[in-house]
A = this chain, B = another copy of it.
Amino acid sequence: MVQKGDYILLEYTVTSKDDGKVVETTVEDTAKQANIYNPDEVYGPRLIIVGETKLFEPLEQALLATDEGGEVNVEVPPDKAFGERDQGKVKTLSIREFYKYGKIPKPGDVVEMDGQQARVISISSGRAILDFNHPLAGKTLLIKGRIVKKLVTDEEKAKQIVKIYLPRVEGGDVEVSVDKAAKSVTVKLPPSTLFIDKIGNVKLRIAEDLAEKFGAEKVQFIEEITIKREEQKEEGGGQPQQEQAQAQQQEGGVQSAQA
């Protein structure tokens, strides 16, 4: 049985009970069939740390009664999901309010007003009716899930934590070792991660998370760059860099008085 504190990989699909529409899924094919496929999303089972990852309570209860390989089928009523619909959150606004956004929305659009999202219900005679309720408010959700894997070793667990922050990096390209005695974790990342924007901040967040979860005080990151000499010469990939370094040194050698 799954216990609190267990690390599991969960595959799941959430549908809205009343219309049977898929509202979210970790399964790429299901997303495509339901026409909610998002190329920016990374599909595949998701890491859940049971009792720590915030889940709808009926889902958490169901997981605690299941084991690796097992399936869960859960019905989540609105009060345990996104709350009941609140008619007070349906508001009428003057269309002039929208002028600052530069364009007039159409019914069905999602707009942001004062940091809150709202759906445009209708537009007529200079007024817009907006619904500030969460789109899933009032809906009963059906969650069908499968515990694909229960993670056992610290290495498996740490690797999945790294994956939260670097979802696009292939799991097979990340190597993690946890040394509890030395209170240290070592994360080897593929060279492709070198070019991720603000990778330093991502590493810092990974380090803080791993330190928290494994009681580590040191988190080491390693990237190994392999230099292919033949290619270098053919493509001139390395040589210009080398010349550039020399050029810098020479400039330094006697710098123009204009500088």
Contacts and interface: CB of A to CB of B under 8 A. Distances in A.
Interface stretch (A64-72, A92-100, A170-178, A192-200): A192-200
A253 interface: yes
A226 interface: yes
B53 A258 contact: no
A54 B246 contact: yes
Q: How many copies does the complex hold?
A: 2
Contacts of A136: 254, 256-257
Contacts of A221: 222-225
A254 to B, nearest CB: 5
Interface string A6-21: 0000000010100001
Interface in A191-243: 193-196, 199-201, 203-205, 207-209, 211-212, 216-229, 232, 237-238, 241-242
B246 A232 contact: no
Interface residues of A, number: 78
A87 interface: no
A61 interface: no
Tell me the dominant secondary structure on chain A's binding face. Answer: mixed
A241 B205 contact: yes
Contacts of A161: 245
Contacts of A212: 238, 242
A160 to B, nearest CB: 11
Ranked nearest first, the 6 interchain pairs of A and B with the lowest CB-CB distance are A194-B200, A211-B227, A208-B238, A207-B225, A54-B250, A24-B255
